[in-house]
Amino acid sequence: MAAAVEPRWRQATFIQDVRSRVSASQLTRFQKMYTEPFFVINVDPVVPALVRMRLTVSGSQQATYVVTLQSTGLFKCSCKDAIMTCRRNGCVCKHVCFVLYRVLRHEGLDFFDNLQLTPDEVGSIASRASQIQIQEVDRSNPPHVAPRPDQLHFDFCHSKRPHQIEAGDDCPICFDALLGSDVLRFCPECGNGVHRTCIVKWMEHRSTCVYCRSKLWSNYRGD
Ligand SMILES: [Zn+2]
Ligand SMILES: [Zn+2]
Ligand SMILES: [Zn+2]
């Protein structure tokens, strides 16, 4: 098995590169990408001209924000900071940092010069978007037939056949590694894993499995 390559944003040298490159107001927002919890609640790759991608992002509070990548390479976020402050300070909000570097795995730092991606970068990011359709069914593991509601007695800690979690497997909600300190929960229907804290957050907004859309999760109480 090949060793999984650490994504750029998780490499130690990366934040040093960023620090030497960006303004103080940008750095503050960028660093929150590491210190605050973020969750992707929805990904909507949009084909038509103006908007290339739309992600719904949530943080530690109930609020959700919509981050859009325009086909011009500009990002927009619906948060107060983006609307009220970032434009004036010439920076992007923490949600855009999270989406660009953690979710979309962008590696270059030229973005911070003009706060705009090049057409090539937009193209490669848009092609990657298909990999982050978090509601996509895992076709290699078709869900087995769902039991009737009165048969629901799933132990979410020990679901029937959890998938083996390997180095390099990321949580589809926070895009951080699945291997680590956080407790995992496995979908009883498709066997895929997520962080417990992430599925709790997810269930504030949705009631189906992140992977297979199983409705069994509507019975989940966050334990
Ligand atoms: Zn924002
Ligand atoms: Zn997670
Ligand atoms: Zn599932």
pLDDT(139) > 60: no
Residues in the chain: 223
* Separation of CA 217 and ligand 3 centre (Å): 8
pLDDT for the residue 138: 36
Give the residue from 132, 156, 176 where a domain finishes.
132
* Separation of CA 204 and ligand 1 centre (Å): 19
- Select from 13, 38, 202 the least CA-distant residue to 104: 38
pLDDT for the residue 144: 38
Are 102 and 166 within one domain?
no
pLDDT for the residue 52: 78
Task: Give the model's confidence band at 127: pLDDT under 50 very low, under 70 low, under 90 confident, else very high.
Answer: confident
Give the residue from 132, 155, 189 where a domain finishes.
132
pLDDT for the residue 54: 86
Number of domains the chain is built from: 2
Give the residue from 83, 105, 132 where a domain finishes.
132
Provide the CA 139 distance to its chain's centre, in angstroms. 20
* Separation of CA 64 and ligand 1 centre (Å): 9
* Separation of CA 15 and ligand 2 centre (Å): 21
Q: What is residue 220's three-state secondary structure?
A: coil
* Separation of CA 185 and ligand 2 centre (Å): 10
Does 80 fall in a domain? yes
Are 38 and 121 within one domain?
yes
Q: Which domain holds residue 173?
A: 136-223
Are 108 and 177 within one domain?
no
* Separation of CA 92 and ligand 1 centre (Å): 8
Are 98 and 208 within one domain?
no
Are 148 and 181 within one domain?
yes
* Separation of CA 132 and ligand 2 centre (Å): 14
Integer Cα distance of 20 and 10 in angstroms: 17
Does 3 fall in a domain? no
* Separation of CA 200 and ligand 1 centre (Å): 22
Does 2 fall in a domain? no
Tens digit of each residue's pLDDT (9 = 90 or more) over 34-92? 999 999 888 876 655 677 788 889 988 878 999 999 989 999 999 999 999 998 999 99
Are 215 and 115 within one domain?
no
Q: Which residue has the higher pLDDT, 148 or 154?
A: 154
Percent of the chain with pLDDT over 90: 38
Q: Is the dihedral of CA 198, 30, 83, 70 positive or negative?
A: negative
Are 96 and 26 within one domain?
yes
Residues whose CB is less than 8 angstroms from the CB of residue 33 and which lie 6 or more positions away in sequence, other chains included? 9, 94, 97, 98, 101, 102
pLDDT for the residue 191: 82
Integer Cα distance of 98 and 106 in angstroms: 10
Tens digit of each residue's pLDDT (9 = 90 or more) over 82-109? 999 998 999 999 999 999 999 888 999 9
* Separation of CA 198 and ligand 2 centre (Å): 5
Q: Which residue has the tokens 């290699």?
A: 140
